Chain A
Amino acid sequence: MAEPGSSGLWHAALFHRGAAEFEAQACQFAEAAASAGGAVLVTAPASSLDRLRARLDGLGDLVTWADMAELAANPGRLISALTRFADQHFGQAIWCVHQAAWPSRPAEELWEVLRHEALLNSALSGAPLRMLCPYDAGLPADLISCAEATHPVIAPAGRWQASPRYSEAARGIVPAACDRPLPAPPADAWVVSYTDDLRPLRSLVSLRARAAGLPSRLASDLVIAVGELAANTLAHVGGPGTLTTWTTGGEIVCEVGDGGHITDPLAGQLRPDPTAVDGGRGLWLVHQMCDLVQVRTGPRGTTIRVHMQLPAR
């Protein structure tokens, strides 16, 4: 179970000190993948990609490179992107280096990274997938501890071994640390309630996005995303719901709240069948459209907060 050559899902966290240690391990992993005939996907920020690409040049077409800023800036796209890559390389084992947790990344994004690491264990259990997830050892201790609990394999002394903090019984359950209540919206946020007409809500999002300086194509994506969330309220809860929107220094944020309870933790994670005629696309679309999606749901209601980064001024 500990070595990446075994069958089924192999999901490991690599706690590294400095970029050089990560790059050496990532290169070893990619070379092992190449010699095993696997398809390699490297998702990392651009700076890492450039350095890894220079070292793995010899592997040529065996490696697919994905800039985190494009493929999976939103951690909620990871599972869907992996299944798509696996479909494109049907019959091959998938080896993925997934660098999503770097120290300068905002905490709210890092916790969503960890949530999806946990969900991956159930969503892709049994898949011929080897995942190497580097975590900078300089990250806060609670994040490191959560990474140990969401990865079945770690290498504390340079050898892969089962992670003592990982529990098979808790597989696919979102760790409490990733599910803390969201901070309250600012007092000057814009608010609209909806029960049966969603057009005022979409108009408000469109106008606020424009006022915040979000480019029109992204503003349109945000309207689509918020429209899907509000449509879910009407379809599954029967309303009412509330939209709250505000801007921070670098983002426009929209939050949809209603009385529903999303009981499937994998809702919106798996790419829907393009021919399906009976729903299941809404939350997946939201993840594809937005830079960060935070879902908090329980018997007392659901809050979903979506973020779009504003262009640097």
Chain B
Amino acid sequence: MTVWYKTIVTPLTALVTVEGSYTLVELAGEADVTGIQALNDLLEAETSKRPGLLIIEMSALRYMDSAALHTILRAHVALGKAGGRLALVSPSDAVARLLQMTEADRVVPVYASIADAAAG
């Protein structure tokens, strides 16, 4: 048996910027079940500030699992209740595949650019 023991990895990082009319969360790396508590805390904190629009930019997010997707869908519900909206921008191929297979892309709008998302 061959034992695999080491690899070079990139953790999940998030950069939050508050712009005039929206809050921008840029995710990079990989979002899986092991990081959902941190992602959940971040999205809950930003959602509780009741932004009119929360944009999650995903072009540098190389991987996302369904646990991370659930966290994003919960933020979508919470924002909707507060009268705001959530938008996803530029998912990478693997992330877009997950959104399409689960039809989450029919629940949360997906845009090609931050400008498109801001324009609604």
The answer to whether B65 touches A224, judged by C-beta atoms less than 8 angstroms apart, is yes
What residues on B are CB-neighbors of A272 within 8 Å?
Answer: 102
What residues on B are CB-neighbors of A9 within 8 Å?
Answer: none
Among A109-117, A132-140, A151-159, A195-203, the stretch that binds chain B is A195-203
How many residues of chain A are within 8 Å of chain B by beta carbon? 36
Q: Taking the complex as formed, is A176 at the interface, i.e. its CB lies under 8 A from any CB of chain B?
A: no
The CA-CA distance from A187 to B30 in the complex, in Å, is: 31
- Chain A: which residue is nearest B6 at the CB level? A200
Contact of A281 among B9, B66, B74 (CB under 8 A): B66
The answer to whether B6 touches A277, judged by C-beta atoms less than 8 angstroms apart, is no
The answer to whether A221 touches B106, judged by C-beta atoms less than 8 angstroms apart, is no
The CA-CA distance from A63 to B67 in the complex, in Å, is: 38
What residues on A are CB-neighbors of B67 within 8 Å?
Answer: 231, 235, 279
Contact of A223 among B74, B94, B103 (CB under 8 A): B94
Binary interface profile of A, 172-195, with partner B (CB < 8 Å = 1, else 0)?
A: 000000000000000111111000
What residues on A are CB-neighbors of B9 within 8 Å?
Answer: 197, 199-200, 203
Given the interface contacts A189-B1, A220-B93, does A199 sit within 8 Å of B30 by beta carbon?
Answer: yes
What residues on B are CB-neighbors of A189 within 8 Å?
Answer: 1-2
Q: Taking the complex as formed, is B73 at the interface, i.e. its CB lies under 8 A from any CB of chain A?
A: yes
Given the interface contacts A231-B66, A277-B73, A282-B66, does A224 sit within 8 Å of B98 by beta carbon?
Answer: yes
The CA-CA distance from A189 to B3 in the complex, in Å, is: 9
The CA-CA distance from A289 to B97 in the complex, in Å, is: 10
Q: Taking the complex as formed, is A204 at the interface, i.e. its CB lies under 8 A from any CB of chain B?
A: yes
The CA-CA distance from A72 to B2 in the complex, in Å, is: 34
Contact of B103 among A192, A198, A274 (CB under 8 A): A274
What residues on B are CB-neighbors of A279 within 8 Å?
Answer: 66-67, 70
The answer to whether A196 touches B4, judged by C-beta atoms less than 8 angstroms apart, is no
Q: Taking the complex as formed, is B26 at the interface, i.e. its CB lies under 8 A from any CB of chain A?
A: no
The answer to whether A203 touches B101, judged by C-beta atoms less than 8 angstroms apart, is no
Binary interface profile of B, 47-87, with partner A (CB < 8 Å = 1, else 0)?
A: 00000000000000001011101100110010000000000
Tally of contacts, chain A with chain B, CB under 8 A: 92
- Chain B: which residue is nearest A233 at the CB level? B33
Binary interface profile of A, 209-229, with partner B (CB < 8 Å = 1, else 0)?
A: 000000001001101100110
The CA-CA distance from A198 to B69 in the complex, in Å, is: 16
What residues on A are CB-neighbors of B7 within 8 Å?
Answer: 199-200, 203-204
Bin chain B's interface residue count. Answer: 20 to 34
Q: Taking the complex as formed, is B21 at the interface, i.e. its CB lies under 8 A from any CB of chain A?
A: no
- Chain A: which residue is nearest B10 at the CB level? A199
What residues on B are CB-neighbors of A276 within 8 Å?
Answer: 70, 73
What residues on B are CB-neighbors of A88 within 8 Å?
Answer: none
The CA-CA distance from A135 to B106 in the complex, in Å, is: 39
Contact of B3 among A191, A198, A282 (CB under 8 A): A191
Given the interface contacts A224-B97, A228-B66, does A235 sit within 8 Å of B4 by beta carbon?
Answer: no
What residues on B are CB-neighbors of A188 within 8 Å?
Answer: 1-2
Q: Taking the complex as formed, is B44 at the interface, i.e. its CB lies under 8 A from any CB of chain A?
A: no
The answer to whether B33 touches A187, judged by C-beta atoms less than 8 angstroms apart, is no
The CA-CA distance from A175 to B62 in the complex, in Å, is: 41
What residues on B are CB-neighbors of A202 within 8 Å?
Answer: 30, 63
Contact residues of B with A, CB < 8 Å?
Answer: 1-7, 9, 30, 32-34, 63, 65-67, 69-70, 73-74, 77, 93-94, 97-98, 101-104, 106-107
Q: Other CB < 8 Å A-B pairs besides A202-B63, A279-B70, A285-B66, 15 of them?
A: A191-B2, A191-B4, A198-B33, A199-B30, A200-B6, A220-B93, A220-B97, A221-B97, A231-B32, A231-B33, A231-B66, A274-B102, A279-B67, A282-B66, A285-B102
Give 23 CB contacts A-B under 8 Å.
A188-B2, A192-B5, A200-B5, A203-B7, A203-B9, A220-B93, A220-B94, A224-B65, A224-B94, A224-B97, A227-B65, A228-B66, A231-B33, A235-B33, A235-B67, A272-B102, A274-B103, A276-B70, A278-B70, A281-B70, A285-B102, A288-B101, A289-B101
